[in-house]
Amino acid sequence: MLRQLAALALTILALALLLAVKMHVEGGAAETTASPRLPVVKLAALELLQQGDFIMADLRAAYLTTAAPAAAGVFKSASAANVQVWGVDEEDYVKFDGEYLYVAAGWRLYVVDKTPRVVKTLECPGLGCHVFVWGGRALVYGETRGYTALYVYDLGSGSRLAVYNLSGWPVAARMSDGAVYIVAQSPARVEINGRVVEEAPVLALGAPPAVLIVAGVDLRSLQFNASVYVAGSTPRVYMRDNRLYVITPLALPDYLAKVVNATWSLLPDDVKKRLDRTNPLVLYLSVLDLLKNSTDVVHILNRANITTATRIYVFEGEGPYLRLKAVAEAPGKVLDQFAVEEVDGGFVVATTASPIRFHVGYVWRAAGCPIIDITQTPARVIVRCPPELRLYITEGEPVNAVYVFDSGGRLVGSVEGLAPGERIYAARLVGNVMYLVTFRQVDPLYAVDLADPARPRVLGYLKTPGFSEYLHPVGEGLLLGVGLHERGVKIAQFDVSNPAAPRETSNLTIANAYTPVFQDHHAFAYDPSTRLAFIPYVGHHGRLRTLFIEVGRGLAVKADLDLPAERAFFTEDGVYLVGWRMVWRLNYRFEKIGEAVLG
């Protein structure tokens, strides 16, 4: 009886969803180019995805707050230690404008002059704050009590000019031409500046789904704008000029829609009658209901030949206002932001794809069942919840590829089948050549020519022990790789002057060591004028140390210092190092000539 009632409820739900579905078109009616059409979902129902309580509606999810325009003027901007695209700043806790360091530590933002000496202290909204600086103003933001708070300061007076807040936690941020764009992820309940957002368009479906917030702040006018979307897991972010790319991997509901469409002709008629392909949300729920009676349908679904996949959402705009311009989908998963770059009016994506298979299993629920008290005895009986049916996926042997799209998200060229059985560990575009590092037993460095985006091709590759986690161009025809080898840090210099025949010219290895560069490229710094590279590392002693290496004809260690620095900024007369609550000033003999304590 309960099963019949559940089936009836699901049928009613599916009908309600079908009748309520509306599509959201990004942009206004005056747009001359077609914008992506997206289904819209009630955010309050997201947490009930597996129970099937979705309700669809129109979008009313963007809120705007404006302020009076700021006075015009020419000001310096500050930048992070190491960014992917020149002119586009990235999220980090420290910035340098050539005159001042801006360091977020604890609940404070410290302004440090070149002495170094703390000259101003401002409040941060959270412990893990990041900072952007433009036009004599600073924006600091951080997570506190489940919200992301943003403070804008006038650096001259120290006064707080604006406060904004949004639900969730920050994932990434960029700044271009004085406009800061913060990408955050949130649970289903979303508030923007105290206003509840009720619905949002669907970019991708996670299990459970998450909410993606794209917020913009113009540091000149103090205008603020935020848009809300339903998305999958934590996205990657790339930006060039006024185009923001948000890269999200597909999740189980998306893959399920793909395999049902691919195997539709193979499904029995009675199964087809119970599936609604017009809406991936309804489809996901109806398949779960089918599996309660029989798992035979899984064997049919697994006849589809699909792989992991990623969607790339291209936003374009001016100031704090961004609209969704294009959507592209590529087989495979994207490693990091360096696997996405703009080329010749379009963009290139390097991915690692694995075939997908569906499985059904039962899991025990940890909570949610009633506790029954026996009145005749003092004993308490706890009833264990019955196991829940779960649909999940596994991934097979990986293979790598490079895909090139035009500005509208249409595929124009690809190179597939690179390094079967391996996955991408590092990527970097230098000129028209994309360099990729894959790994299983040795480290192949691939050079992929993108001079003709419609016909990308592999020029050459090199196999060498270990593998690089980060690649950085260090002069004409030279590439530096920072990676792992035999439980140590390997720093390798590659001659790529002839991309068809790359070769390793020098390397250094630090045994039993680790470097933060593996997880955060901002921990790496390179100065072309001195040819010095800064690489912090943790050795067998367990302490963070500072390493300076000179690149060129070979690699040479110039200094190995017992300073726990995490960032480095090069100037004409020396180097500024920033570590936990400390700033050090060094000359180019690597002698300490000043320091400042933060807090």
Tell me how far apart the alpha carbons of residues 416 and 399 are, in angstroms, rounded to a whole number. 8
Burial 138-172 (b: 16+ CB within 10 A, else e): bbbbbbbeebbbbbbbebeeeeebbebbbbbbbbb
At residue 369, the pLDDT reads 57
**3-class SS at 208?**
coil
Residues of the chain with pLDDT under 50: 1-34, 50-76, 373-374
Which has the closest alpha carbon to 174: 234, 249, 240?
Answer: 240
> What residues contact residue 406 under an 8 Å CB cut-off, 6+ apart?
345, 346, 412, 453
At residue 32, the pLDDT reads 29
Tell me how far apart the alpha carbons of residues 109 and 128 are, in angstroms, rounded to a whole number. 11
Domain spans of the chain, in order of start: 12-93+129-247
At residue 282, the pLDDT reads 75
pTM of the model: 0.86
Tokens describing residue 297: 């349908």
Nearest 5°: CA angle at 573, between 104 and 526? Answer: 65
At residue 497, the pLDDT reads 95
At residue 179, the pLDDT reads 97
At residue 35, the pLDDT reads 55
At residue 343, the pLDDT reads 93
At residue 48, the pLDDT reads 58
Q: What letter would DSSP give residue 384?
A: P
| Cis? peptide before 465, omega within 30° of 0 | no
At residue 49, the pLDDT reads 54
| Cis? peptide before 235, omega within 30° of 0 | no
At residue 57, the pLDDT reads 31
